[in-house]
Structure 1
């Protein structure tokens, strides 16, 4: 087992009144899986572990992700004014992310390693080809690393951009009404 190997993540609730931790009912399955992994690692002997506690971070929801891509598709269609080809929803995604201050990691690596890097990062763009089959890339996790609050602000920004460019699409109106009903 490596130095930073994580066996699993078990959601718990800390109760300050009794100064104790309780495994959430919904996490019992995860607890069973973690115990099975620990049994395999222990080989029948006591196993020393380090437990780390960190506050739960709610990531973006599947519904937020669907809403984002539906709106970005409408945005691309508006930019293309009904013509085939041209701007893709992914182009609008990158434009909006950059407007919202998305941070990139700039990395130098062999050109042959770019496909491997794409498995670790959502967005990978080659910035410059260098000597010796190397390149500089800018890479980012994109919105997949956003919390629900960050994703809410991002989607609000997409609605704002659609209004700015004059999109008058009944689907956008329906999405806006649906979006206003979602608890934030």
Structure 2
């Protein structure tokens, strides 16, 4: 196919762990609308040489979806932007990933579970991060939320290319942890 923009919606019945083989050399924007709770990024994505933007949205409003095979994106050399909506971030960092070309990461209504991975390792050239309505955990103690809040920001201050951080609808311990860490940013400028 020679589509520059491709949108794929799953039906909620079939497993996305077995995507069909597709050849999409011209695709620059890929939109994945997924209806299952468990998803695997298709192997064909790594052959999308011109892919610049990836948008993955979970259509299930009750749960954050888990993504598997995220390391495929490490082999996509032109990927500049990723937007995730209602995705479990901890599932992404289960395997060591590194997307060097990524410049902007948007996380909307994502769930942040415990992960020891650093954003600075996964996305070393990230310039902009946007977090909207972050959910740290549904039922946890205040101490657990404090640890998870620090984990979400793990490596954020090590991102030497970071120029812009936007937090929308973020409250509580995540916001508190961010304010504690923000002065450690290399390019921090208080206004």
Q: What TM-score does the superposition give when structure 1 sets the normalisation length? A: 0.22
Q: What TM-score does the superposition give when structure 2 sets the normalisation length? A: 0.21
Higher strand share: 2
Higher relative contact order (CA 8 A, sep 6+): 1
Higher helix share: 1
